[in-house]
Amino acid sequence: MAVSTQNQAFNAQLFFYKHIIKKDFGDNSNTLRAKSRPYIPVVLSREEVHSILERLTYPNNLIVKLLYGCGLRMFECLNLRVNNFNFDAGILTIHDG
Half-sphere exposure of 49 (CA within 13 A, CB side): 10
- Per-range mean pLDDT, top range of 20-24, 28-32, 87-91: 87-91
Is the entire prediction scored with pTM above 0.85? Answer: no
Give me the pLDDT at residue 56, please: 95
What are the pLDDT digits (tens) for 41-92?
A: 889 899 999 999 999 999 899 999 989 988 899 999 888 999 999 999 989 9
d(Cα 37, Cα 71) in Å, to the nearest integer? Answer: 28
